[in-house]
Chain A
Amino acid sequence: MGFSRYVEVGRIVLISYGPNAGSLATVIDIVDQNKCLIDGPEEITGVSRQVIPYRRIALTDLTVKIQRNARAKQLKSAWKEGDVQAKWEGSSWAKKLEAKKKRSGLSDFDRFKVMVAKQQKSRIIAKKMKELKA
Chain B
Amino acid sequence: MTVAGEMRQYQVVGRKAATDENPNPEAYRMIIFAPNPTTAKSKFWYFMRQFRKMKKTTGEILDCVELTEKNSRTVKNYGIWLRYDSRSGTHNMYREYRDLKLTGAISQLYDEMAGRHRTRPRSIQIIRTATVAPKDLKRPNGMQFAQAKVKFPLPHRVDSAKRGQKALSDRTFSTVRPTTMFN
Contact = CB atoms under 8 A, between A and B. Distances in A.
Interface of A: 1, 3-9, 17, 29-33, 37, 49, 51, 54-55, 58-59, 68-69
B151 interface: yes
A7 to B, nearest CB: 6
B5 to A, nearest CB: 15
Given A5-B183, A37-B100, A58-B182, A31 B145 contact: yes
A37 B75 contact: yes
Contacts, number: 59
Interface string B91-112: 0000001111000000000000
Contacts of B151: 6-8
Contacts of B157: 54-55
* B interface residue count range (under 10 / 10 to 19 / 20 to 34 / 35 or more): 20 to 34
Interface in B139-155: 141-142, 145, 148-155
30 contacts: A1-B183, A3-B153, A3-B155, A5-B153, A5-B183, A6-B152, A6-B153, A7-B151, A7-B154, A8-B150, A8-B151, A9-B150, A17-B160, A29-B74, A30-B145, A31-B75, A31-B98, A32-B98, A32-B141, A32-B142, A32-B145, A33-B145, A37-B100, A51-B99, A54-B157, A55-B160, A59-B154, A59-B182, A69-B73, A69-B75
